[in-house]
A and B are shown apart, each in its own frame.
Chain A
Amino acid sequence: MSAVTWARLVPRGQWGPAIVAMLIGAFLLTFLAVPVAKVVFVAFQNPSTGDFTLLNFSDFFNTSLFRESFWNSFYVASMSVVVATAIALPLAYITTRFNFGGAAIIQTLGIIPLIMPPFVGAVAMQLLFGGNGSVNLLLDDYFGFTIPFMEGLNGVIFVQSIHYFPFILINLSASLANIDRSMEEAALSLGASGMRLFRRVVFPLGMPGYIAGASLVFLKVFDDLGTPLLLNVNNMLAPQAYLRISSVGISDPMGYVISVILVVFSLFSLWVSFLAMKGKDYATTQKGGGGLMRRDLSTMEKLGCYALILFILLVVLSPHIGLTLLSFGTIWSFSVLPDGFTFDHYLEMYNSAGQFIKNTLLYAGLAGLIDVIFGTAIAYVVWRTGIAGRKALDFLAMAALAVPGVVLGIGYLRAFYQVDLPFGGGSLASFWLIIVIALSVRRLPYALRACVAALQQVSVSLEEAAENLGATKWGTVRRIVVPLMGGGILAGFVTSFATAAVELSATIMLVSNEADAPLAYGIYVFMQSAAGRGSGAALGIVAVLVVAIGTYASHKIIERTKNQQAMD
Chain B
Amino acid sequence: MRLPSSRLTKIFSGLVLAGGVALSPLTAMAQDQKLVIVTSFPSDLTKVFKDAFEKEYPATKLEILKKSTSSGIKYVQETAGNNQSDLFWASAPDAFEVLKGDNLLQEYRSRVDGIPDKVGAFPINDPDGYYKGFAAAGYGFMWNTRYMKAKGLPEPKEWEDLRKPVYHGHLGMSAPSRSGTTHLTVETILQGKGWDEGWKVLKDMSGNFKTITERSFGVPDGVNSGNFGVGIVIDFFGLSSKGAGFPVEFRYPTVTTLVPANIGVIKNAPNPEAAGKFIDFLLSEKGQELLLDPKIRRLPVNPAIYAKAPADFPNPFKDSSIGAALKFDLDQSKERYNLVNSLFDVMITYRMEDLQEATAKIQELEAALAETPNDQAGSMLVLAKKLVAQVPITEAQSLDKDFAAIFTKKRKKATDTVTGRQAEVEQEWDTFTVNNYRKATEVAEKALDLL
Contacts and interface: CB of A to CB of B under 8 A. Distances in A.
Query: Do A and B form a real pair?
Result: yes
Interface of A: 1, 9, 22-23, 25-27, 29-30, 34, 47-50, 55-56, 59-60, 62-65, 123, 126-127, 130-133, 152, 229-230, 232, 234-235, 239, 243, 246-254, 330-335, 388-389, 410, 413-414, 417-418, 420-433, 437, 508-509, 511-515, 524-526, 528-533
Interface of B: 1-3, 5, 8-9, 11-13, 16-18, 20-21, 23-24, 28, 36, 42-44, 63-67, 69-71, 73-75, 78-79, 81-82, 84, 94-95, 98, 144, 146-147, 150, 177-178, 180, 210-214, 217-218, 220-221, 224-228, 236-238, 240-241, 243-248, 294-295, 337-338, 341-342, 345-346, 349-350, 352-353, 407-411, 414, 417-424, 426-427, 430-431, 434
B12 A530 contact: no
Given A26-B5, A531-B295, A132 B218 contact: no
Given A50-B414, A126-B225, A247-B177, A59 B424 contact: yes
Nearest to A389: B1
B212 A530 contact: no
A127 B411 CA distance: 45
Contacts of A422: 17-18, 21
A30 B236 CA distance: 45
Given A62-B427, A431-B24, A331 B240 contact: no
B430 A64 contact: yes
B8 to A, nearest CB: 4
Contact of B224 (A254, A426, A530): A530
A247 B70 CA distance: 6
A130 B65 CA distance: 32
B64 A60 contact: no
B28 A425 contact: yes
Contacts of A60: 423
Contacts of B12: 23, 26-27, 30
A370 B60 CA distance: 38
B226 A530 contact: no
Nearest to B149: A334
B17 A132 contact: no
A531 B21 contact: no
Point out which of B21, B79, B346, B423 has the most chain A C-beta atoms below 10 A from its C-beta.
B423
Nearest to A59: B423
Nearest to A62: B427
A247 B84 contact: no
Contact of B17 (A59, A250, A418, A421): A421
Given A22-B3, A526-B43, A532-B246, A427 B84 contact: yes
Given A50-B411, A249-B73, A250-B342, 20 more contacts: A25-B5, A27-B16, A48-B409, A48-B420, A126-B227, A243-B345, A246-B70, A248-B98, A250-B341, A250-B407, A331-B245, A333-B224, A334-B225, A417-B81, A418-B81, A425-B24, A431-B20, A511-B65, A528-B217, A531-B42
A514 B421 contact: no
Contact of B24 (A250, A429, A433, A508): A433
Point out which of A133, A388, A514, A528 has the most chain B C-beta atoms below 10 A from its C-beta.
A528
Given A528-B217, A532-B224, A63 B241 contact: no
A-B pairs with the 7 shortest C-beta distances?
A: A334-B226, A531-B244, A59-B423, A433-B20, A26-B8, A413-B78, A530-B220
Contacts of A29: 5, 9
Nearest to B17: A421
A240 to B, nearest CB: 8
A72 B153 CA distance: 35
Contact of A410 (B74, B217, B411): B74
Contact of A513 (B63, B228, B241): B63
Contact of B42 (A131, A424, A529): A529
Contact of A131 (B23, B210, B352): B210
A426 B66 contact: no
Contacts of B421: 47-48, 55, 59
A25 B11 CA distance: 13
B244 A47 contact: no
Contact of A331 (B8, B69, B247, B341): B247
Point out which of A30, A59, A132, A427 has the most chain B C-beta atoms below 10 A from its C-beta.
A132
Contact of B94 (A30, A248, A410, A429): A248
A173 B226 CA distance: 40
Point out which of A9, A437, A530 has the most chain B C-beta atoms below 10 A from its C-beta.
A530
A508 B144 CA distance: 32
Nearest to A432: B24
A414 B261 CA distance: 29
B241 A30 contact: no
Point out which of A229, A248, A428, A525 has the most chain B C-beta atoms below 10 A from its C-beta.
A248
A133 B225 CA distance: 8
A234 B349 CA distance: 8
Contacts of B248: 333
Given A247-B70, A421-B21, A530 B217 contact: yes
A20 to B, nearest CB: 12
A403 B238 CA distance: 37
Contacts of A230: 214, 218
B95 A252 contact: no
Contacts of B147: 132, 334
A247 B72 CA distance: 11
Given A427-B84, A428-B17, A530-B237, A248 B95 contact: yes
A212 to B, nearest CB: 28
A186 B266 CA distance: 73
B350 A417 contact: no
A119 B179 CA distance: 18
A530 B244 contact: yes
Contacts of A528: 42-43, 66, 217
Given A29-B9, A417-B78, A430-B84, A243 B1 contact: no
A25 B1 CA distance: 13
A249 B146 contact: no
Contact of B350 (A234, A335, A414, A509): A234
B42 A56 contact: no
Contacts of A26: 5, 8-9, 11-12
A331 B145 CA distance: 13
Contact of A251 (B228, B236, B409): B409
Contacts of B70: 246-248
Given A247-B178, A410-B74, A422-B21, A525 B43 contact: yes
Contacts of A133: 227
